[in-house]
Amino acid sequence: MAKIAFIGLGVMGYPMAGYLKTKGGHEVTVYNRTQSKAEKWVAEYGGTYAGTPAEAAKDCDFIFSCVGNDKDLLSVTTGENGAFHGMKSGAIFVDNTTASAEVARTLYEKAKEKGCGFIDAPISGGQAGAENGVLTVMCGGDQDTFDTAKPIIECFAKFVGLMGGSGAGQLTKMCNQICIAGVVQGLSEAIHFAKQADLDVTKVISAIKGGAAQSWQMENRWETMKDGKFDYGFAVDWMRKDLGICLKTANDTGARLPMTALVDQFYADVQEMGGGRWDTSSLITRFEK
């Protein structure tokens, strides 16, 4: 049994921390900016909650975080009362936030200075994946640190892989988001086209979902997209944050992402329609204004 801190109890972090306690049987201390959420988690799962990230991290073997963006991540790690101030030598920090590779590399170096390990470990699988403990976790960091952390991460994951050195996990997550952007746009156009052509969308999807057009998005979202229901997971606001990271990184590396840039602007249109908290399949609403 390991002593673990988990920082950030949003829709993803809350069940992930739960699996570390229930499936892993670990001793878990949680921290959340809104303390009532931490109190609720403790009431449901047991364990304890802390008043600051530094307090949560004290004497822990592993510290996990799942927060909003680079700024949030720096706040809970190296900011005032951040977890890095409470970590013991030899502890491993596993960050499940979708953030930039740049901040991952910065925190890797700062952890190293303290005699600690750092793994950037963004996740894919959405809220359902977190709640069912079947997330995909893409890691960046040192092999020995990864080997130590992997059995702990597996408490809430179906796949845990080391993609390369520090930052490689975040870069892999960017590839994931680039693919999703294109798939959702294509599916949105196909459903819109079918409607405009007076086709039965249900019959169309039934015909094409078993072939090369098949995707997770088609399997899980075509019907809700057809019916205009968009309360099923990852929000447009967060997708735009992620695509912004992709586009900045592409600019820094010389990669060309014309489709990603276009879909990012399409999601901006959805935000202007008041859909910032709708799930990403709401891209189809641009055709139905």
Q: Encode pLDDT of 2-12 as tens digits.
A: 999 999 999 99
Superfamily of structural domain 171-287 = N-(1-d-carboxylethyl)-l-norvaline Dehydrogenase; domain 2 (1.10.1040.10)
* Banded model confidence at residue 256, pLDDT cuts 50, 70, 90: very high
pTM, 2 dp: 0.94
**Other beta carbons within 10 Å of 231:** 10
CB within 8 Å of 283: residues ≥ 6 apart: 184, 185, 188, 263, 266, 267, 270
What is the predicted pLDDT for the residue at 249? 97
> Each residue of 118-161: pLDDT tens digit?
999 999 998 889 999 999 999 999 999 999 999 999 999 999 99
> What average pLDDT does the segment 57-72 reach?
97
User: Can you read off the two tokens belonging to residue 280?
Assistant: 């990403």
Which of the four pLDDT bands, split at 50, 70 and 90, describes residue 215?
Answer: very high
End-to-end CA distance of the chain: 54
Flag whether pLDDT at 289 surpasses 80: no
The pLDDT of residue 233 is: 78
- Output the CA angle 252-84-161, nearest 5 degrees: 55
289 is catalytic: no
Q: What is the mean pLDDT of residues 38-57?
A: 98
Write out the two tokens for 108. Answer: 């890797």
Q: What SS3 state is found at 140?
A: strand
Give me the pLDDT at residue 232, please.
Answer: 83
Tell me if 86 sits within 8 A of 80, measured CB to CB. no
**Mean pLDDT, the chain, as a whole number?**
97
Identified catalytic residue from 21, 58, 150, 173: 173
Which pLDDT value is given to residue 275? 97
At residue 288, the pLDDT reads 82
Per DSSP, 34 falls in state S
Lowest model confidence (mean pLDDT) among 164-168, 228-232, 265-269? 228-232
Q: Where are the domains of the chain?
A: 3-165, 171-287
Q: Name the residue type at position 181.
A: A
- State both tokens at 128: 């359902």
Nearest in space to 28 (alpha carbons), one of 51, 5, 56, 58: 5
**Matching CATH number, 3-165, of 3.40.50.1820, 3.40.50.720, 3.90.280.10, 3.30.200.20:** 3.40.50.720
DSSP for 193-251? HHHHTT--HHHHHHHHTTTTT--HHHHHHHHHHHHT---SSSBHHHHHHHHHHHHHHHH
